[in-house]
């Protein structure tokens, strides 16, 4: 057993719990109840801290740091592996092949039996100067000017036909072009000849053909733009980055054609296939090709690569190819890849902690994920899972629910036992399991439609859809079917307020106060009452305690032992100087404000800007959050709703909102709160489009667009468009009507 006694991490109420080893245990409860505080902030933190202590001080300084949890007793821990809920992400050099180790094996294979012989494995790495294409530096693509965006043919030069900044009437470059003598400033560009437009854009020989003054010294718009924005050295400012986004696009590298490698590496073959060809081959087909490689010199390589490929195929990722950028993977694809890596690790007696492993998975894919978790358990692991999905709870050996509520109302064990026993436990999760949203019988009337026609992004197969306006549309389909690609096309063509899955950008000073933007109005309120400058009421500025610099804690160096974070002895954790803390608003100091919950602050703080921002938090179910709580301590569900509260601003004009899996991290009871927020947007005339796997959201939709039938190349087609009650014959229909 993992024995926990007197655990007080965050909101946990001196919690006591025994967790059995060698079992699959799911931790449930409403968002903010304390699940993450128990599993990550206590079990994972203490296991990591104790493992670090086994290393010498030199190595310990270079290992991840874990905070000692507040508890009376923690026993029975084993080394912990934490699998988070975030997408793989990575940078432009990160691919499925590099993330899974497949490319490492392929590089070794080509270095040993590739013909002609090129050299060591580094010669086949697009991340190594020895192997990368010199033109694109191994990225496979280059940034080029989007010349078709440079001009507005319906306008004249004087009216602003040149869209690139710096060419408006009165600007330096506009005057240069106007004075050239070859162009008429008051004639719409549509009435110019083709030669004149090419001369305007490219100068040089095109300008020379006009037989006028610009022949020698004239610099075309494209040449100037690329000289200033693409070939200039130095850091890129925010303004320049915005210009690059508007007026450039990526294109396959003209030298390597997207293969990323130099000429020598591109020319090598194994059984007639080049590295570039294999990078574009689906993993299932790559496994079949590998079976033909029978050279005994590389038998260990073939064996290791084959095992890795088979594992990916078994979890349903055979449609991916090694060259696929990890930044384009869905949440479900990322979770499966991460789990497969641990399955092949060969370690026993470990504790694996998963944070919502079904994030991004279609309901029909849940069985494959629970199968992976069971295999890890059967290999000798202890599996602890924070999860809201009933399918994962049903597959667990034991379910522990933390509650009964969120924040100060949570932090206790309200159930420990089987899933069947949970159903009758009378807890929030039991109530959510018993409740079931009805399928919307009569869709709300649409006010119009937004058309996306002929979409071919990624795996989309010439898709055309009509998205009704003024209602809720849900994009459904298995992971990798093309939902995100279709949403991206919709945004590109019609513009939208986008709420995607990027994590909340936080550091140790980030709190709900700073994130919602109410720090300024709060400081102004205190400044007006006290006569002090507003900066005095910032823990990051002049008013901060000089000892802890506004953090509330100080770090104590214990030499060869791990450093400790302790409450600041000067300000006693209140973060501000005594002078600042003498001043009050509504009877509260600025430090007292940090201790208020959102709901309490709404009653006590009169400023309308503060009330508006906090009202958004309260409406998405975050009334329990304390204003000074570090965002690093929030659960996944709380972070997701924090983003929704900030991003779902009530625009004056009807707008399009596109949300990517907004139920990530939400307890089923919290999904109702989210749907209420979306309904209020629709009542105000907005259009809401959601990518979602949560069945209750599908049932609440006015319109479904179901993509599939499979992932990758086997997807990208529209299987159904219409009201949810009429969908039949797809994986989504089975989950929606039968689940």
SS3 state at 109: helix
Superfamily of domain 448-504+641-738: P-loop containing nucleotide triphosphate hydrolases (3.40.50.300)
What is the CATH number that goes with domain 2-87+334-434?
3.40.50.300
Kindly report which listed range (129-138, 380-389, 706-715) carries the lowest average pLDDT score. 706-715
Domain boundaries, the chain: 2-87+334-434, 96-140+254-326, 143-252, 448-504+641-738, 512-633
pLDDT for 329-338, tens place per residue?
766 677 778 7
- What's the pLDDT score for residue 68? 84
- Domain 2-87+334-434 and domain 448-504+641-738, same fold? Reply is yes
Cβ pair 264, 300 in contact under 8 A: no
- pLDDT (tens digit, 9 = 90+) per residue, 184-238? 778 888 888 888 888 888 877 777 777 655 545 667 888 888 888 777 655 566 6
DSSP string across 544-587: B-TTTTTSSEEEEP-TTSPPEEEE-TTTTT--B-HHHHT--BTT
Mean pLDDT in the chain?
86
Strands 73-75 and 564-567: unpaired
For CA atoms 360, 312, 739, 358, the dihedral sign is negative
7 phi/psi in degrees, rounded to 5: -80, 125
pLDDT tens, position by position, 336-377 = 787 777 776 667 889 999 888 887 778 887 888 888 889 889
At residue 532, the pLDDT reads 87
- In 170-312, DSSP assigns E strands to 248-252
Length of the chain: 739
Quick: pLDDT tens for 363-414.
887 888 888 889 889 989 999 999 988 999 999 999 999 999 888 889 999 9
Q: What is the pTM of this model?
A: 0.74
pLDDT of the residue at 215? 46
Fold topology of 143-252: Helicase, Ruva Protein; domain 3 (1.10.8)
For residue 514, what are the contacts with CB-CB under 8 A and spacing of at least 6? Answer: none
| Residue 559, pLDDT above cutoff 50 | no
Rounded Cα gap, residues 515 and 614, in angstroms: 11
89 band by pLDDT with thresholds 50, 70 and 90: low
Lowest-pLDDT range, 208-222, 606-620, 649-663?
208-222
Is residue 581 within 8 Å of residue 574, measured between CB atoms?
yes
Evaluated on CA atoms 479, 480, 486, 488, the torsion sign reads positive
The topology (CATH level 3) of 96-140+254-326 is ABC transporter ATPase like fold (1.20.1580)
- Specify the CATH class of 512-633 in words: mainly alpha
pLDDT for 177 equals 63
């Amino acid at each position: 057993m993992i024995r926990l006694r007197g655990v007080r991490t965050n909101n946990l109420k001196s919690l006591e719990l025994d967790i059995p080893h060698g079992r699959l245990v799911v931790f449930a409860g409403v968002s903010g109840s304390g699940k993450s505080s128990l599993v990550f902030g206590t079990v994972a933190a203490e296991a990591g801290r104790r493992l670090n202590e086994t290393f010498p001080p030199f190595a310990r300084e270079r290992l991840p740091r874990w905070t000692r949890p507040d508890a009376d007793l923690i026993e029975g821990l084993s080394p912990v592996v934490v699998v988070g809920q975030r997408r793989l992400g990575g940078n432009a050099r990160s691919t499925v092949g590099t993330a899974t180790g497949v490319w490492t094996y392929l590089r070794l294979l080509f270095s040993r039996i590739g013909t002609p012989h090129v050299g060591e494995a580094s010669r086949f790495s697009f991340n190594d100067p020895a192997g990368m294409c010199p033109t694109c530096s191994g990225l496979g693509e280059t940034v080029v000017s989007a010349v078709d965006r440079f001009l507005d043919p319906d306008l004249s030069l004087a009216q602003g036909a040149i869209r690139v900044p710096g060419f408006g009437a009165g600007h330096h470059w506009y005057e240069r072009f106007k004075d050239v003598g070859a162009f008429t400033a008051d004639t719409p560009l549509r009435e110019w000849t083709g030669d004149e437009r090419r001369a305007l854009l490219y100068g040089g020989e095109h300008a020379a053909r006009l037989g006028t003054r610009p022949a020698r010294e004239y610099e075309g718009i494209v040449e100037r733009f690329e000289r200033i924005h693409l070939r200039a050295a130095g850091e890129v400012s925010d303004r320049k980055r915005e210009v690059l986004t508007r007026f450039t696009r990526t294109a396959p590298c003209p030298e390597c054609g997207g293969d990323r490698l130099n000429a020598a590496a591109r020319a090598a073959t194994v059984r007639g296939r080049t590295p570039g060809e294999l990078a574009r081959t689906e993993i299932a087909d790559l496994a079949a090709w590998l079976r033909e490689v029978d050279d005994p010199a590389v038998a260990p390589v073939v064996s290791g690569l084959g095992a890795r490929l088979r594992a990916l195929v078994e979890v349903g990722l055979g449609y991916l190819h090694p060259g696929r950028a990890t930044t384009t993977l869905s949440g479900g694809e990322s979770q499966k890849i991460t789990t497969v890596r641990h399955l092949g690790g060969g370690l026993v007696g470990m504790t694996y902690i998963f944070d919502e492993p079904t994030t991004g998975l279609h309901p029909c894919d849940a069985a494959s994920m629970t199968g992976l978790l069971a295999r890890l358990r059967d290999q000798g692991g202890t599996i602890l899972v924070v999860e809201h999905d009933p399918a994962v709870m049903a597959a667990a050996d034991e379910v522990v629910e933390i509650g009964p509520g969120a924040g100060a109302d949570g932090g206790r064990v309200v159930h420990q036992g089987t899933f069947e026993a949970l159903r009758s436990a009378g807890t929030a999760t039991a109530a959510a399991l018993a409740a079931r949203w009805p399928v919307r019988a009569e869709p709300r009337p649409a006010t119009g439609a937004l058309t996306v026609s002929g979409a071919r992004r990624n795996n989309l197969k010439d898709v055309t859809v009509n998205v009704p306006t003024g209602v809720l549309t849900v994009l459904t389909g298995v992971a990798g079917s093309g939902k995100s690609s279709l949403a991206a096309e919709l945004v590109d063509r019609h513009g939208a307020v986008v709420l995607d899955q990027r994590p909340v950008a936080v550091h140790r000073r980030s709190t709900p106060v700073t994130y919602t933007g109410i720090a300024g109005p709060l400081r102004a309120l205190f400044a007006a009452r006290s006569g002090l400058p507003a900066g005095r009421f910032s823990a990051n500025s002049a008013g901060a305690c000089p000892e802890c610099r506004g953090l509330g804690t100080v770090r104590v160096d214990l030499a060869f032992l791990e450093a400790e974070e302790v409450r600041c002895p000067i300000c006693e954790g209140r973060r501000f100087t005594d002078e600042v803390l003498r001043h009050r608003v509504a009877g509260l100091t600025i430090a007292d404000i940090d201790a208020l919950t959102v709901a309490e602050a709404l009653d006590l703080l009169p400023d309308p800007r503060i009330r508006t921002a906090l009202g958004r938090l309260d409406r998405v179910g975050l009334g329990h959050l304390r204003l000074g709580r570090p965002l690093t301590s929030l659960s996944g569900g709380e972070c997701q709703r924090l983003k929704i509260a900030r991003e779902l601003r009530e625009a004056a004009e009807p707008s399009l909102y596109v949300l990517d899996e907004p139920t990530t991290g939400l307890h089923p009871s919290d999904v109702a709160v989210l749907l209420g927020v979306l309904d209020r947007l629709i009542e105000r005339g907005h259009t809401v489009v959601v990518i979602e796997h949560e069945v209750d959201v599908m049932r609440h939709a006015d319109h479904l667009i179901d993509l599939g039938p499979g992932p990758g190349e086997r997807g990208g087609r529209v299987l159904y468009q219409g009201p949810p009650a009429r969908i039949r014959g797809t994986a989504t229909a089975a989950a929606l009507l039968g689940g």
